[in-house]
């Protein structure tokens, strides 16, 4: 009886043989078609007719799998088409990234995002050379390319990547990665889903689809990753109620994170925050519990970019007074002054 390793070796040899056999059969079928018809298009159609049952079954299985997963394939095609030296017998179109999330949630599709395990720029150039799309913009840091297709549809093709940060809130250091590593580096679970076009399966390592169904936003990874979210925000909001402990006795740590990152802030006008922020100086303060006032302040900053930038810069400067080093220095100065006062009293006659 063969051992496990012998069985695995036999399986590997069989798969290799099938791969070369498939390639050999494909080339010879197309060769015979070329001899019979005299041109490449006729050869392609003849090859397609011979393989039609398998092509139809293969693409139908992708379509059914997508519907079972709750995806909405845009179209199924079994008519052949030539792509350079390659011939595609059939396909099912899917959208990924934000489009995948929006489809699952039932929202209109707002963007198309494709990840490539490899050179995304090379893929984009091939599309541009085929006249299927034009390159609109390139991001060398994140290895991504924005494309515009002839129908007016825009899409982003980018390299599957890992992003590391030398310091919280700093610029990312980008390296090539697998799609699974890429999804692990996303901000929220609902954004960490992808559809594998080659294998016809949904990739959802962080249960983003379930979070989407429940209507919750859940972050991924290290607590330090929250700085990525803060950095991407246009405005940071800190609403406190008059009865909360934070309104009277404490200053929330997130406030100083917002300030250190130079973000325009809208916050509740409570004693604890007034010790740190001046209304119109480093933030816009609104009465606690005033929902309309909070909305108006947010709208004001969204419509006045110069005011938002001014408040952000002032908050960044003010944050220096509340760093751990500055606080430790103040505590040390206070302790030293108390000790000097006690020593002075002790030496009085």
Q: Is residue 47 part of a domain?
A: yes
Domain boundary among 62, 77, 93: 93
At 83 the pLDDT is: 47
Which long-range contacts (C-beta less than 8 Å, at least 24 apart) are formed by 128-132? Answer: 130/83, 130/84
Q: What is the dihedral of CA 257, 171, 102, 221, to 10 degrees?
A: -60
At 110 the pLDDT is: 57
Q: Is residue 58 part of a domain?
A: yes
Domain boundary among 44, 61, 93: 93
From its phi and psi, is residue 153 left (phi > 0), alpha (psi between -120 and 50) or beta?
A: beta
Q: Residue 284, class by beta-carbon neighbours within 10 Å (0-12 exposed, 13-18 middle, 19+ buried)? A: buried
Domain boundary among 34, 66, 93: 93
Beta bridge partners of 279: 283
What pLDDT tens digit does each residue of the chain (349 aa) get? 677 777 777 777 887 877 677 667 666 666 666 666 666 666 667 766 766 676 677 667 766 765 555 555 545 556 665 544 455 544 444 444 566 776 676 666 656 788 888 888 888 888 888 877 888 888 887 788 888 877 677 888 888 888 776 665 566 788 888 888 888 888 788 888 988 877 788 889 999 889 888 888 787 876 666 677 787 788 999 988 776 555 565 667 889 889 999 999 999 998 888 888 999 999 999 998 889 999 999 999 999 999 999 999 999 999 988 888 888 888 888 888 887 777 666 665 5
Q: Specify the residue for token string 């003010």.
A: 318
* CATH value at residue 292: 3.40.50.2000
What gap in Å lies between CA 50 and CA 29, rounded to an integer?
Answer: 9
At 119 the pLDDT is: 83
At 16 the pLDDT is: 80
Q: Do 221 and 184 touch, CB atoms closer than 8 A?
A: yes
Q: Is residue 200 part of a domain?
A: no
Q: Is residue 144 part of a domain?
A: no
Q: Is residue 153 part of a domain?
A: no
At 263 the pLDDT is: 93
Q: Is residue 40 part of a domain?
A: yes
At 91 the pLDDT is: 46
Q: Is residue 263 part of a domain?
A: yes
Other Cβ atoms closer than 10 A to 32 = 14
The SS3 assignment for 235 reads: coil
At 196 the pLDDT is: 85
At 94 the pLDDT is: 42
- Which tokens in the block code for residue 31? 């060769």
What gap in Å lies between CA 127 and CA 116, rounded to an integer?
Answer: 14
Beta-sheet pairing, 236-238 with 265-268: parallel
Alpha-helix residue ranges (DSSP H) falling in 132-238: 179-184, 208-214, 226-232
The SS3 assignment for 5 reads: helix
Query: What residue numbers bound the domain in which 36 lies?
Result: 16-93
Q: Is residue 133 part of a domain?
A: no
Q: What total of structural domains would you count in the chain?
A: 2
């Amino acid at each position: 009886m063969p051992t496990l390793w012998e069985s695995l070796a036999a399986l590997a040899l069989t798969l290799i043989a099938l791969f070369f056999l498939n390639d050999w059969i494909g080339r010879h079928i197309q060769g015979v078609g070329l001899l019979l018809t005299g041109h490449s298009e006729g050869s392609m159609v003849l090859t397609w007719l011979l393989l039609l049952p398998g092509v139809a079954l293969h693409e139908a299985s992708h379509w059914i799998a997508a519907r079972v997963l709750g995806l909405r394939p845009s179209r199924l095609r079994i008519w052949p088409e030539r792509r350079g030296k390659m011939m595609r017998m059939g396909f099912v179109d899917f959208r990924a990234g934000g489009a995948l999330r929006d489809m699952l949630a039932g929202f209109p599709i707002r963007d198309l995002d494709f990840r490539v395990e490899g050179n995304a720029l090379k893929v984009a150039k091939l599309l541009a050379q085929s006249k299927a799309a034009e390159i609109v913009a390139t991001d060398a840091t994140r290895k991504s390319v924005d494309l515009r297709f002839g129908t007016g549809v825009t899409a982003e093709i980018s390299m599957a990547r890992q992003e590391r940060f030398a310091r919280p809130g700093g610029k990312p250091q980008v390296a090539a990665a697998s799609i699974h590593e890429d999804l692990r580096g996303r901000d929220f679970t609902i954004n960490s889903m992808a559809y594998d076009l080659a294998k016809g399966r949904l990739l959802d390592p962080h249960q983003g689809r379930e979070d989407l169904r429940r209507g919750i936003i859940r972050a991924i990874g290290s607590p330090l990753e929250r700085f990525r979210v803060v950095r991407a925000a246009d405005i940071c909001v800190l609403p406190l109620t008059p009865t909360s402990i934070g309104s009277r006795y404490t200053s929330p740590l997130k406030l100083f994170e917002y300030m250190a990152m130079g973000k325009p802030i809208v916050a509740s006008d409570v004693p604890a925050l007034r010790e740190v922020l001046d209304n119109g100086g480093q933030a816009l303060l609104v009465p606690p519990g005033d929902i309309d006032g909070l909305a108006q302040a947010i709208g004001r900053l969204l419509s006045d970019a110069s005011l938002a930038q001014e408040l952000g810069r002032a908050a960044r400067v003010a944050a220096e007074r509340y760093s751990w080093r500055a606080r430790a220095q103040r505590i040390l100065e206070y302790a030293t002054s108390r000790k000097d006062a006690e020593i002075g009293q002790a030496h009085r006659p």
